[in-house]
Amino acid sequence: MSTRSYEVFALRYATLAARTAGENFLFPDDHGAPMPIDYFLWAIRGGGRTIIVDTGFSPDAGVRRGRQFLHSPEAALKAIGIDAASVPDVVISHLHWDHAGNWEIFPGATFHLQDSEMAYATGRCMCHNVFRRAMEVEDVVGAVRNVFAGRVRFHDGTSELAPGVTLHLIGGHSGGQQSVRVATARGWLVLASDATHFWANIRTRNPFPLVVDVARMLEGYRILEALADSPDHIIPGHDPLVLKRFPAVAGHPDIVRVDLPPVA
């Protein structure tokens, strides 16, 4: 690979065991089948750069919604030697409550967001409870405050964040869902975030039921596959299999290296 290659970490910070397939597929085969969901943030490191993807849910939102931290996002990052306070770049894949809390733990960061996600989160779609319920108003207000502080860099479509790290507008799941493509030693990796919650969503073309535009979500699967070197190079946003398929960081079973080849 001609471009620089990065280490990429998936960090699980929460989990929810009491979840069923009916909540994870638009067209479930078996509504009641148990299908737990994990919550992640991701870290990209190499060549003196550190880029974080997503910020996790805030402790308050977790309490309100019945989820608890296994590790705070700050502690998870510290476990791999990253001080959240000094991170320069944070990609917000989208503004859903479980991806865009905790702005304050990154006081030195520029936040990277798609134009269409900000418009979605602050415009007429939020008049509808079905879309609003996946947002925390304080997170969206946090985004606005960071815009006014000059700390948001907006993107419209595809852009390069660093050599070998690009942002890609996918949409579908939210107004401006974006995914991150990263050059690694094993090839082009795509941190899909909620462009596909589980490998099963993209592999069976059966979308997650929280969706703004089903057609765009399905087209998004095609884009993810075109960007990634193989199906195993697409890292889903919430799949417990991620921790099983990739090698853990020594002493940290909730943190895996997705830039390394799968172990199972």
- How buried is residue 89: exposed, middle or buried, by Cβ count under 10 Å (0-12/13-18/19+)? buried
**Which residues are 9's β-sheet partners?**
43, 257
In contact, 11 and 40? CB cutoff 8 Å: yes
Least distance to Zn ion, CB of residue 185, Å: 28
In contact, 151 and 107? CB cutoff 8 Å: no
For residues 169 and 115, what is the distance between their CA atoms, to the nearest angstrom? Answer: 10
By CB under 5 A, name the one of 89, 136, 194, 254 that touches Zn ion: 194
In 10 A of CB 48, how many CB atoms? Answer: 6
Q: Which is nearer to Zn ion, 96 or 168 (CB)?
A: 96
Least distance to Zn ion, CB of residue 107, Å: 24
Q: Looking at the chain, which runs of residues are DSSP E strands?
A: 7-16, 37-46, 49-53, 89-91, 110-114, 152-155, 159-162, 165-169, 178-184, 187-193, 234-236, 248-249, 252-257
Q: Which is nearer to Zn ion, 96 or 186 (CB)?
A: 96
Q: Which is nearer to Zn ion, 89 or 98 (CB)?
A: 98
For residues 242 and 43, what is the distance between their CA atoms, to the nearest angstrom? Answer: 14
Least distance to Zn ion, CB of residue 94, Å: 6
Q: Which is nearer to Zn ion, 143 or 183 (CB)?
A: 143
Least distance to Zn ion, CB of residue 54, Å: 8
For residues 94 and 185, what is the distance between their CA atoms, to the nearest angstrom? Answer: 27
Q: Which is nearer to Zn ion, 74 or 194 (CB)?
A: 194
Least distance to Zn ion, CB of residue 236, Å: 10
Q: Which is nearer to Zn ion, 60 or 160 (CB)?
A: 60
Alpha-carbon Rg of the chain, whole angstroms?
Answer: 17
Q: Which is nearer to Zn ion, 67 or 96 (CB)?
A: 96
Given the rule CB under 5 A, which of 12-20, 102-110, 187-195, 221-229 is the region that contacts Zn ion?
A: 187-195
- How buried is residue 4: exposed, middle or buried, by Cβ count under 10 Å (0-12/13-18/19+)? middle
Binding mask 81-120 for Zn ion (x = CB under 5 A): ---------------x-x----------------------
54 binds Zn ion (CB under 5 A): no
Least distance to Zn ion, CB of residue 37, Å: 8
In contact, 35 and 63? CB cutoff 8 Å: no
Least distance to Zn ion, CB of residue 245, Å: 19
What sign does the CA torsion over 169, 170, 174, 177 have? negative
List contacts with Zn ion (CB under 5 A). Answer: 96, 98, 194
